[in-house]
């Protein structure tokens, strides 16, 4: 199955992507994670992306699209994938459609995680991520009192772009550039809106329910 997750910063895309990709045994491809790995690895790609990420702006399309094309060309993505954080504007969505059609493929579904702005700010201010396994935690909701991952023992870190002023800017960028994708995929007939408030398990249940008809098809 080929899936895209869309939603504002902090909607829970990364959190849900972990569960959905593992349930369907498909790779989870997060452009944010790939950029962050390149920034910490000090690569040329990371150097190009960092200044945009630090401000909360989108990394230029030519950089992002080339990176996604490379990743989707890998063997494990041939029969399915879950994209988290791409596409993020209409030109990226049009390019993805064209890229997939070159490979005789198409997206099956786009899941839009719907959540209000106040909840997003609350979620991002408490987010911590594991340096070792990438698991996402929340200081309050997961009652994390130490900076150690309960799953693998790795150290947890707070993302630089989770400072409140950068979060507010990321939300503006989302409204201006990414929100139009909802109409784009509605017109394509593949959009499913998921209410993303409630517990992580409740949201996963709603997402899997939206995917169920495609799994049995």
What are the helix and strand counts (H, E) for the chain?
Answer: 9, 8
- Whole-number minimum distance, CB 26 to ligand AP5, in Å? 17
- Whole-number minimum distance, CB 196 to ligand AP5, in Å? 6
- Whole-number minimum distance, CB 44 to ligand AP5, in Å? 16
Q: Which of positions 25-44 make contact with ligand AP5 (CB under 6 A)? A: 31-32, 35
3-state SS assignment for residue 105:
coil
Name the nearest CA neighbour of 133 among 44, 26, 14: 14
Separation of alpha carbons 110 and 161, rounded Å? 25
- Whole-number minimum distance, CB 187 to ligand AP5, in Å? 20
The DSSP bridge pattern shows strands 81-84 and 156-157 to be unpaired
- 92: which 2 tokens? 């990226």
Nearest residue to the partner ligand AP5, using Cβ: 32
Per-residue string for binding with ligand AP5, 156-195, x by CB under 6 A? -----x--------x-------------------------
Does residue 134 belong to the site contacting ligand AP5 (CB under 6 A)?
A: no
- Could you give the count of Cα atoms lying within 13 Å of 59 in the half-sphere of its Cβ? 25
Separation of alpha carbons 200 and 209, rounded Å? 14
The CA-based angle 190-103-45, given to 5 degrees, is: 90
Among residues 24, 58, 96, 190, the one that binds ligand AP5 under rule CB under 6 A: 58
Cα-to-chain-centroid distance, residue 101: 22
- Closest to ligand AP5 by CB, 68 vs 213, is 68
- Whole-number minimum distance, CB 158 to ligand AP5, in Å? 10
Number of residues that bind ligand AP5 (CB under 6 A): 35
Provide the β-strand partners of residue 112: 6, 193
Catalytic residues: 13, 88, 127, 159, 170
Does residue 137 belong to the site contacting ligand AP5 (CB under 6 A)?
A: yes
- 137: which 2 tokens? 């935690």
Choose one: 2-10, 37-45, 71-79, 148-156; the region binding ligand AP5 (CB under 6 A).
2-10
- Closest to ligand AP5 by CB, 7 vs 184, is 7
Tokens 């049995």 sit on residue: 216
- 88: which 2 tokens? 């993020």
Residues that bind ligand AP5 (CB under 6 A): 7, 9-15, 31-32, 35, 52-53, 56-59, 64, 85-86, 88, 92, 123-124, 126-127, 136-138, 141, 161, 170, 199-200, 203
């Amino acid at each position: 199955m080929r899936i895209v997750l869309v939603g504002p910063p902090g909607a829970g895309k990364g959190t849900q992507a972990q569960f959905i990709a593992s349930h369907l045994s498909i790779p989870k491809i997060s452009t944010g994670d790939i950029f962050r790995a390149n920034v910490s690895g000090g690569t040329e790609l990371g150097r190009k992306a960092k200044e945009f990420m630090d401000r909360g702006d989108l990394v230029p399309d030519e950089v992002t699209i080339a990176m996604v094309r490379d990743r989707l060309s890998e063997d494990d993505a041939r029969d399915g994938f879950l994209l988290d954080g791409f596409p993020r504007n209409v030109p990226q969505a049009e390019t993805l459609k064209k890229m997939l059609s070159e490979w005789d493929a198409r997206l099956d579904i786009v899941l839009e995680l719907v959540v209000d702005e106040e909840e997003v700010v609350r979620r991002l201010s408490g987010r911590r991520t594991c340096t070792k396994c990438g698991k996402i935690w929340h200081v309050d909701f997961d009652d994390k009192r130490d900076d150690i991952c309960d799953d693998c023992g790795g150290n947890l870190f707070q993302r630089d772009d989770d400072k409140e002023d950068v979060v507010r800017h990321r939300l503006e960028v989302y409204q201006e550039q990414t929100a139009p994708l909802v109409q784009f995929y509605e017109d394509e007939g593949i959009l499913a809106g998921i209410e993303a408030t409630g517990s992580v398990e409740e949201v996963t249940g709603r997402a899997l329910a939206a995917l169920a008809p495609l799994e049995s098809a």
